[in-house]
Amino acid sequence: MIITEQSPKRYPFNDDQVVPDCEWEVFLCETAAMIITEQSPKRLLEVRGRYYELLTHCIPPDIILKRILNELVANCDGTLKAEVTQLAAQYQAQSQLSSKAIFHLEAFTAKFMRIYKQFLEEGLESMGF
């Protein structure tokens, strides 16, 4: 979110003041958009690099997964939302038992890409394409 001249930075905060998103939150939103726009091994590798970037800047893996999940389910229908949410819960639980969070984040993303691509293809088939 860009701060405009109508809402300059000031302290103490006003009721109408817009609080900008943190850079890592914007970075996560961009990462989710990358996942939605293309589901390929190349894109998965790019997303993995972005996860590493977040982890090296001390963003906890459970926060990464929760924020990515929120952004991804915004682009899914009801049945897919439930499946993706359950998948995220499964990978979050596995991540807490492991010391290598990157593996679980990447596995979740790969599985989501497969499910989402299949969902898109089935949608096109039902439309007659």
Q: Count other C-beta atoms under 10 Å from residue 73's C-beta.
A: 19
Which residues in the chain show pLDDT less than 70? 1-10, 124, 127-129
pLDDT, residue 30, reads: 96
Taking only the tens place, the pLDDT of each residue in 91-127 is 999 988 888 999 999 999 999 999 999 988 887 677 6
Surface-to-core class of residue 12, CB atoms within 10 Å of its CB (0-12 exposed, 13-18 middle, 19+ buried): exposed
- Taking the CA atoms of the chain, what radius of gyration do you get in angstroms? 17
pLDDT, residue 41, reads: 96
Query: What would the two tokens of residue 99 be?
Result: 């010391």
pLDDT, residue 15, reads: 81
Helices 23-37 and 61-73, axial angle in degrees (round to 10)? 50
DSSP state string for 38-50: --SHHHHHHHHHH
Q: Model-level pTM?
A: 0.82
pLDDT, residue 9, reads: 65
- Quote the CA–CA distance of 55 and 114 in Å, as a whole number: 24
Q: Count other C-beta atoms under 10 Å from residue 43's C-beta.
A: 15
pLDDT, residue 128, reads: 65
Q: Give domain limits for the chain.
A: 65-129
